[in-house]
Chain A
Amino acid sequence: MGESGAGKSTLLNIIATLDQPTSGEIMLNGTDLSHLSENESSQFRREHLGFVFQSFNLLDTFSNRDNIYLPLVLSKKPHQFMDNKLKPLSKILGIEKLLDRQPSEISGGQKQRVAIARALITDPSILLADEPTGALDSNNSEKILNVFEQINERGQTVLMVTHSVQAASYAQRTLFIKDGKIYNKLYRGDQSRNQYLQKIIDSLTALENNEEVD
């Protein structure tokens, strides 16, 4: 997490192979991401990454179901396979009833859950989320964060960018970014969410005080 303009999205985009670092390298599962060709990075994104955006980025031209199927269709998976994948996923996300409607017919929170389903259906090595709750009210944000916590417990790695301490407190580990540099890290360990929340707030205060010292 970090303030607006700190470089969170940039880092995420580089991990996502959507952007190139000017220097340094990005390793994921032993693969160097900075030297992939356009084709390879597309394939890499499709097979290893899941994306959740602040603005949902669902396609109006598809039904919710087809939006979720999209990455699998691009990977040329058979229809039956997609169907089997979607069933448990839609149950976890509580979107079974929304599948045959259009994205334009559902609320923001529902859209984001559909978007998460789309990101998870490929069983990505890592789920990248750039301020996924930024456009949602607190009630819907909480639902989304609970989903993240739940899938994380099942073994899904989630890398989420946020500037909300509330959202950050759901994580197992928190990295602080400032001026394009990682500044601090925190591990949740066995702490409760409230304890961890307090720790994050303390750390942020320290960060700001430090600024005054500079």
Chain B
Amino acid sequence: MVQLKLALHNLVKSKNQSLPFIFSNSIWVTITYIFLSMIYNTNIKTNSYGAVANYILKLGLIFIILIAALSTFYAERLLSKQRTQELGLYSMLGLTRRHLKQIVLLENSLFYMICIIIGSVAGITFSKLAFMSLESLLGTTSLHQNFTLLPLIYVAAIFAGIFILIILFDFWGLKRVNPINLWAKSSQPEKEPKSHTLLAVLGIIALLIGYCISVMIKPTGAAFGQFIIAIVLVVAGSYLVFITASISLLKILKKNQNYYYKPNHFISVSNMLYRMKQNGAGLASISLLCTSILVALIASVSLVEGQNNLINLWSPVDVQIVSKAPLSTTAKQTIHKLANNYQITMSQSHMVAVTTPSMGILSGKHFKPQFNTKTEYTLSSLDLRQYNHLQNTNYHLKDNEVLMYAPGTNYLQRHISVQGRTYKVKRIKKFNGAFVYSHNIYKSIFIVAANPTIAKQLNPHSYVYAQGFNTHGTKWHQKQFANAVQNALKVDPSNFTSKYIMRDLLKAMFGSLLFMGILISIVMICATTMIVYYKQVSEGYADKHNYQIMSKIGLSQKETRKAIQSQVLTVFTLPIIGAILNLIFALPAIKSVLTIFSMYDLKILVVVSFCTISVLIISYTIIYLATTNVYRNIVSH
């Protein structure tokens, strides 16, 4: 079949363009596969917080598919420009438009198959290796991978969709031009790009709306659609802004004659401007990938850092037992006996009676009991006498005043309205009787009322009794002791809290989330590195000729180096700036996700973000230096 031969010929002949295309496309297939395999090939769904993990993974998947589609689309546009000339030649030689369509179809199908095969093999290998190494590193056994064909089928379908769009677009392009134009089209050299004010404004508007949505929405099940809209807007906006704004920026720089007519700027600005249409898309991809690296790293590192917070929040004392009735004397004796057995001394033993926490939401100052996907809080109450006794404080309250212990929330209202009554609120920082009822994932609020009657008005449920004490001894003994107490008293595990058991519990719980975060970060870092590398290499070959001419005219090696540095520096600082900007607007979303886990702590988030950004900038600089070397070697040899 001659069409197949011609398609193959095109592919091989323009390998300078088609190889990078296959390469970058395969990376997208790989990443998409890894996301899909995490969703469908692991037991992440069934883990604790699996629903949340799944939710985040699906958002990540959509994000990746969008970037993949846009950058594939863009890269193919450039390829098809190259192809037009060949097609024009064929049509002059007598091939009909139908034949040309068949060639386009075959060529794209070839690309599709090559990319799917390479990408899937890479994806399977990578996720297998990553799972094995991370498992041995983190020691989480709660997460398993079992191979199914489902992700492969999905990845094939997703990219089939992308390629069908591309093919349709190519067909449309064929329709518009007659053979004479086809022939002339690619010999028309790339014109200096125009500034598109309208597109730039559209891009900025898309970004702003996307940012607004992401800042305002809360990560509840109901907001999934809004999150997707935000992601679509931010991705599309980033592409538009990078493509248009970078052109405008360069044009402004070029207009400024004092800046432009300096040796370094002269060469770099015009080189960049000449290639900016391709560049803009590439920079947007890099910037979005960097954003995702930052988000994934910050979220997972915060998760690790936040665990201690969470432990203190969930069990302010070493052991806390929650029960429907106060502990019997025999139970207490058993505890003391066990303490002796395990060489444990106990201190700060206490007991508080609080009303059984009821679940609900806070809207403004109103607490509304409610149990569904929107549920965020549990509320329970106790009387002031118990609190003052427990904490050794001396608070006084009027009937319409309450103390409020709500760790991990930023409740700024001065009043709270519960069960139709409004109370004046005073926030307290400490409550040793705090516990997480049934280990639910909601944030606990404890309200201290002036007397038991008001406490009942606040939350008309029966009392539960929290008895807690601190333990002192070796870590191992403390853990053994806690386990022994739980077994001996036959307390339901969900109503028994020990710091040490909690720690293990959290490790198992967040292990999978952490694992996922690290895996995503690694994948994204690899992808970014390779894309940056390929960008440098392909641009090196494109610029080689120009630098040779300039060296003949009198550009020395040293000046070449300077010009390259100036060029690459500009190109490579833009995505980082974009990524940090994106991150700033993604932080509220990260914050909300962390808040779900009661892990939000401003200080940790700020420190982690700062460190992550620094690490990213450093690694990025290293990649930049290494790839600049590659570029320079290509250009000057």
A positions within 8 Å CB-CB of B: 16, 18, 38-39, 42-47, 49, 51, 53, 57, 59-63, 66, 69-71, 73-74, 76, 78-79, 82, 102, 104, 118
Contact = CB atoms under 8 A, between A and B. Distances in A.
5 contacts: A16-B552, A61-B546, A71-B554, A73-B261, A76-B263
B554 A46 contact: yes
Contact of B555 (A42, A44, A69, A78): A42
Nearest to B266: A73
A38 B557 contact: yes
Contacts of A79: 257-258, 261
Contacts of A73: 261-263, 266
A175 to B, nearest CB: 23
Given A45-B554, A59-B549, 9 more contacts: A42-B555, A43-B554, A45-B553, A59-B550, A61-B274, A63-B192, A76-B263, A102-B192, A118-B553
A27 to B, nearest CB: 20
A39 B189 CA distance: 34
Given A59-B550, A71-B553, A66 B559 contact: no
B80 interface: no
B270 A51 contact: no
B197 interface: no
A33 to B, nearest CB: 14
A62 B270 CA distance: 6
A42 B557 CA distance: 8
B637 to A, nearest CB: 14
A122 to B, nearest CB: 9
A74 B270 contact: no
A61 B559 contact: no
B121 to A, nearest CB: 39
B204 to A, nearest CB: 28
Nearest to A18: B552
A57 B558 CA distance: 22
B549 A76 contact: no
Interface string B174-190: 00000000000000011
Interface string B279-296: 000000000000000000
Given A59-B546, A61-B274, A66-B270, A76 B262 contact: yes
A74 B557 contact: no
A42 B263 contact: no
B189 A104 contact: yes
Interface string B479-507: 00000000000000000000000000000
A76 B262 CA distance: 6
Contacts of A45: 552-554
Nearest to B546: A59
B129 to A, nearest CB: 43
A57 B557 CA distance: 19
A42 B261 CA distance: 19
B261 A57 contact: no
B551 A42 contact: yes
B120 to A, nearest CB: 39
B347 interface: no
B556 A43 contact: yes
B451 interface: no
B271 interface: yes
B552 A51 contact: yes
Q: Say what secondary structure dominates the interface of chain B.
A: helix
Contacts of B555: 42, 74
A46 B553 contact: yes
A40 B389 CA distance: 87
Nearest to B254: A66
Interface of B: 189-192, 257-258, 261-263, 266, 270-271, 273-274, 546, 549-559
Contacts of B553: 45-46, 51, 70-71, 74, 118
A143 B261 CA distance: 31
A118 B549 CA distance: 12
B189 A42 contact: no
Contacts of B263: 73-74, 76
Contacts of B552: 16, 18, 45, 51, 53, 57
Contacts of A16: 552
A49 B552 CA distance: 10
Contacts of B258: 79
B550 A70 contact: yes
Among B258, B262, B271, B556, the one with the most A-chain Cβ atoms within 10 Å of its Cβ is B556
Contact of A38 (B190, B257, B266, B556): B556
Contacts of A38: 556-557
Contacts of A62: 270
Contacts of B550: 59, 70, 74
Given A18-B552, A57-B549, A102-B191, A42 B559 contact: yes
A46 B554 CA distance: 5
Nearest to A81: B261
A147 to B, nearest CB: 19
A59 B557 CA distance: 18
Contacts of B274: 60-61
Contacts of A53: 552
A66 B266 contact: yes
Contacts of A82: 261
A69 B559 contact: no
Contacts of A57: 549, 552
A118 B552 CA distance: 12
A70 B271 CA distance: 13
Contacts of B261: 69, 73, 78-79, 82
Contacts of B191: 102
A61 B274 CA distance: 5
The 10 closest A-B CB pairs, nearest first, are A46-B554, A42-B556, A104-B189, A45-B554, A61-B274, A61-B270, A57-B549, A79-B257, A73-B266, A79-B261
A118 to B, nearest CB: 8
A61 B271 contact: yes
A52 to B, nearest CB: 11
B185 to A, nearest CB: 14
A39 B554 CA distance: 9
B554 A74 contact: yes
A39 B557 contact: yes
Contacts of A70: 266, 550, 553
B554 A42 contact: yes
Among A47, A62, A102, the one with the most B-chain Cβ atoms within 10 Å of its Cβ is A62
B365 to A, nearest CB: 63
Among B257, B262, B553, B558, the one with the most A-chain Cβ atoms within 10 Å of its Cβ is B553
Contacts of B558: 39
Contacts of A78: 261
Given A59-B549, A102-B189, A39 B266 contact: no
Contacts of A39: 556-558
Nearest to A42: B556
Contact of A60 (B189, B257, B551, B556): B189
Nearest to A39: B556
Among A43, A45, A59, A82, the one with the most B-chain Cβ atoms within 10 Å of its Cβ is A59
